[in-house]
Structure 1
Amino acid sequence: MAKGFRPEQVINGTWGEVWFDGEYLAQVTACKAEVTFKKTPIPQVQSLVSGQKITELEPKGEIKLHHINSIIMNKVSAAVKAGKTPTHTIISNVNDPDAIGAERIAYYDAILDKMILADWEAGKTCEESYAFTFGDWDPIQTIKS
């Protein structure tokens, strides 16, 4: 029986990476970005079921990191203290050598939801998690089957 794919082609997130304003974040452990569709019901004659029209997009994402430096805090802190809204370009890439290709996406005009100044606990390794929204995106490289 023919299968649609080989199991080793399933992407392993271990091969993922992220750049934040052009700086490589070797400490990244996870990245997720999605665009939620906000829909408006459209009534139609001769139908009890309304159709749906996408009328707004809600792009958002999250990156998780081992806390090894203050790169993000430093970039954000300087801008907000000056009364500015810091925007960033975030690029994610996953390039599993077993997969049939790599997937690289750029997220533009990204605004973090918060700035972490301190978050630690004795006996535990420190992590950071930054949720963000973004204004635009560009699939730089996609996987074609």
Structure 2
Amino acid sequence: MDSAKRVVNGTCGRIWLDGDDVSECYGCKLSVKTTKEKIHMAGQMAVDNKITGIELTGSIKLYKCSSRMARLLGEKLKSGQDVRFTIISKLDDPDAYGAERISVTGVSFDDLMLADWESGKIGQTEVPFTYTDYKFIDMIPEE
């Protein structure tokens, strides 16, 4: 890295939910966590681990501007439908060495906040989810 200006700024991030730009989104987190089994090897005191699966989780942080999530999920959840989505996350800082886009599919939101407000405060919510697959569309190159 030749200077601090190459560090990617999250302000340059955007997400799309099933192709719709979610302009009220101010944060996105996508995570891959490994599940492991302990392996005790003969002749070795240290316990090793074997990866047996992965858990894919994430969340988006939204300013309350509309009833977007209630429209997408409200009645469908109440009737027992398992609603799934695709999210594309893009981080494209013009000072960085490139852009990063990641698509996650099989997105299943964990909850639907119906109301959460307080006088004198900006409306914000964090929406956690799980997903079943991910794909790198664009990756920031190494120097």
Fold conserved between structures, TM > 0.5 = yes
* Structure 2 match to 1:68: 65
- How high is the TM-score relative to the length of structure 2? 0.95
Unaligned runs of 5+ in 2: none
Taking only the aligned residue pairs, the percentage that are identical comes to: 35
Partner of 1:131: 128
Q: TM-score, normalised by structure 1?
A: 0.93
Q: How much has 1:80 moved relative to structure 2?
A: 1.2
Find out whether 1:31 has 2:28 as its counterpart: yes
After TM superposition, give the deviation of residue 98 of structure 1 in Å.
Answer: 0.2
CA distance in 2, matches of 1:116, 1:126: 12
* 13, 17, 20: which one aligns with 1:20: 17
2:110 alignment partner in structure 1: 113
Matches of 2:108 and 2:43, distance apart in 1: 45
After superposition, what is the alpha-carbon deviation per residue over 1:75-116, rounded to whole angstroms, capped at 9, x for unaligned? 111321332111111111100000001111111111111011
Q: Which of residues 68, 88, 98 in structure 1 aligns to 2:85? A: 88
* Amino acid across the alignment from 2:33: T
**Which runs of 5 or more structure 1 residues have no equivalent in the other structure?**
none
Instruction: Tell me the SS of whatever aligns to 2:140.
Output: coil
SS of the residue 2:43 aligns to: coil
- TM-align CA RMSD: 1.1
Deviation beyond 6 Å, 4+ runs, structure 1: none
